[in-house]
Amino acid sequence: MTSQHKPECLIAWWWVILLVAGLGWSSLISAGATPILPAINTNFIVTVTNSTYGALGDNATDNTSAIQSAITAASHGGLTNGLLGGSVRIPAGTNAYLCGPLTLANNVNFQIDGGAILRLLPYDSYPGGITSPANFISGSSLTNIAISGPGAIDGQGAPWWPGYKTNSRPVIVSFSKCSRVLIQTLTISNPPCQHMSIKGSGGNVTIQGLTELAPDSITGNPLSHNTDGIDLAETNCLVQNCNLSVGDDNIAIGSSAGLSRDIVVTNCIFGNGHGVSIGSYTSSGVSNLTVINCTFNGTQNGIRLKSDNDRAGLVQNLSYLNLGMTNVNMPFVIYSYYNSSISPNNVAAMQAATQAVDTVVSTTPIWRNLLFSNINGTASSGNPAGAVWSRTELPATNFIFSHVNFTAYDTFNLFNVSGVQFIDSHFYLPANISTFTLFNAQITVSNSMPGASQVSFDGLTTNGYGNSFVFANAPATAANTNVIANGPVTLIGSILTVSNSFILTPTTVLNFWPGTNAAKLAVVGNLTLGGTNNIAAGAGFTNGTYTLMSCTGTLNGSLPNLGLLPATSHATLFNLITNTSRQINLVVAAPAAPLINNVHLVSQTNLVLTGTGGNTNFNCYVLFTTNLTQTPAIWTRLATNSFQPNGTFSFTNAITTSAPRRFYLLQYP
C-alpha cells in the first residue's frame, strides 16, 4: 500500500530543517542600509565667536541671533571643488553657549568642537514658553546637512519634565523631509522632550557615534518623561556606534506614522529606556529593519513593537541578530492593544480570549516575518522573557526565534500568532512556571539534536482555541489538556507528556513521525482514544513496532483512524493495536505472501476469489496490479474483509476500465 501525501500541518517541519541546516536565511534577513553622506564644502568655515557674529560662551549671553547669522553665512559659502556651503564652528568657551531655537540650512555642517557646550535657554526664558516652543535645531526639506561633535548639547530639561502631559516641549534636533543627513560624535543630554526626531522619509540618514543621556522615566530622579533617544520615520538609514541611555524609547521607528524602510541599527549600547521600539503609529508601514550586534543593559524593554487598530499598518521583514540583554524587564514584547489598560507584561490568556473581535480595516496592526537570532540574556527579577499579543481578528504571522536563550521568571505569552518557531532556543524558568502560555497560537519547537530540555505549556482552562503544535527533537509537557484541545499535534523525535487524563475527541489530529527516536504521547492518567493518527517516516523508520501512545491509568475508547501514511517502495501494511501495557502501537510490516492466485472476474464490478489455507477466519486485503508477468512491487488496496479458510471471498467493486489485472489476497497482520 502506498501514499504520496503528508499531513499539511507537517510542512512547517521541512522549513525548520532548512533553517537548522543554515539554508534560506538570506531571504529572512532585512536588506542593509547604505545611505549617501552629505556633500558639503569643508573649506569654508564660519566661527561663531569672531567679531562678525560675537557669540560668547559665558552661560549668560543669548547667542541665538549670532549663531543663526553664522548658519546663514555658511549656507552661502562659495563653491569649492564642486561643493557648496560650509561649516559653522562652535569653539570651546569658558562656559556654555546659551541659545534659543535655530534653523539649519542647506549645505551646512553645524560643528560643535570638543569641550564646547551648546545649552538651551532656561525653561522660564525659552521663546514660546510651554504653549508653542520651537524645536531647538530644526530643518525642513533640506539637503546636505550635518551636526558634528565631539562637543555637547545640554537641554536643561528638568523644569520641563513635570508638565509632560499638558505642556508643549521643544525637541533638541528635529528634521522633516530632509535628505543626506549626518549626525555624529555628539553628546546630547537632558532634553526637554525627545533628543532627536528625524522624519518625513527624506532618505539617506546616517547617525553615528552619538551619546544621549537622560534620567529614567520610571526610576530616575527626576523622571524624564518622553525623552526618546532617536525617533525615526525614514528610508535608507544607518544608526551605528551609539550609546543611548534615556527616559523613553531608546530608538522609536515609525512613531509618527511616516514610512520607515531599509534601516540598520548596529553596534549600539542601550542603557535605561524602553528599548528599540516600533510604533505606536505605523500606518505608513515599517519594513526591512535590521538590528544587529547591540547590547541592552537595564532597559525597560529590549525589542518592543506596539500599535492598535486605530493607527497601524504593515510591519514586516524585521531582523534582530546577535544581541545581548542583561537585566531587561521585558526582552521581547509585541502587542496590538496599545490603547488597552492591560499591560502586555502580565496579560492573561483569558484576557486575550475575551477581547472584542473587530472588523479588519486598513489600520489593523499587521506583524509578519520577524527573525530573532542569536540573542542571549536575562530578564529582570519577576519578569518574563517576552510576550506576543496580536489581535484575534488578525494574528501575527511567521516569527522565528533561533538560538535565543534567556533566564527569566515568568511564562512567555503567545496570543494570536501563527507560524511561530523556536529553533535551538531555551528559556530557563523557575520549576513551577510554564515555558509558554498560549491562546490561538500555532507553534513549532525544534532542536537540531535530540536530548534538549523539556518545554512546558499552559493556556485556557476551558478551550484551547486554535492552538497547534509541532515538536521536533523537543520533549514537552502539559498539565492542562485544554491547551492542546484538538490540535493538531505533530511529534518528530519527541515525547509529549500530559500530566492529566486526556480525552481524544473524534476531531483530534495527532501526527507521528516514528523512527529511531520515539514520537509518542505519554499520558499520566486516563486516556480516551479517538480522532485520527497521521503517520510520516521519521529518521530510521522501517518495519517494526512503534509505541505512539501510552497511559498510566485506564485506556478507553476505540482505536483512532489511520489517516495519511508514508510512501514506501514495497507493499507495507500499517496497523494500530493495543496491548496489556496500556499502549497503542503502530505495527509496520510487509504483508504475507499471496495466499491464492485463483481469481475469477465474474464481471467488471464483481470479483470472486477462491482460496485455501488456514483453519480460522482472518482479515485480509484484496489488491490488484496491471502487471501480469510478475508479482508487483506496489499494490493498490481495493477492500478489506474476512476470509474463511477454503472458502470464497466475493465483493463488489467499481472497476472503471477493462484493462487486464492480476488480483491478490493478502492476510491482515
**pLDDT of the residue at 81:** 84
Ordered DSSP codes for 407-420 = E-SB-EEEEEEEEE
Residue type, 159: P
Ordered DSSP codes for 94-152 = SS-EEE--EE--TTEEEEE-TT-EEEEPPGGGSTTTTTSPPPSEEEES-EEEEEE-SSE
Judge contact between 369 and 398, C-beta under 8 A.
Answer: yes
Q: Facing residues of 666 across strands? A: 621
**pLDDT of the residue at 613:** 43
**pLDDT of the residue at 206:** 98
**pLDDT of the residue at 594:** 46
Question: What domains lie within the chain, and their CATH numbers?
Answer: 599-667 (2.60.40)
Half-sphere exposure of 78 (CA within 13 A, CB side): 4
C-alpha cell at 504: 481524544
Mean pLDDT per 10-residue section of the chain, whose length is 669 residues: 35 38 43 88 95 97 98 91 93 95 98 98 97 98 97 98 96 97 98 97 95 94 96 97 98 89 98 96 96 97 96 97 97 96 88 93 97 98 95 97 97 96 97 95 95 92 82 95 91 96 94 97 96 95 95 94 82 80 90 47 46 45 51 43 47 47 50
C-alpha cell at 144: 546636505
How many Å apart are CA 597 and CA 574, to the nearest integer? Answer: 23
**pLDDT of the residue at 660:** 54
Which sign, positive or negative, has the C-alpha torsion 350, 355, 361, 363? negative
**pLDDT of the residue at 46:** 97
**pLDDT of the residue at 604:** 41
Judge contact between 379 and 329, C-beta under 8 A.
Answer: yes
Question: In sequence order, which residues have a C-beta less than 8 Å from that of residue 166 and are 6 or more positions away?
Answer: none
Which among 645, 657, 591 is positioned nearest to 622, based on CA atoms?
591
Residue type, 464: G
Instruction: Give the residue ranges of DSSP H helices in 321-383.
Output: 349-353
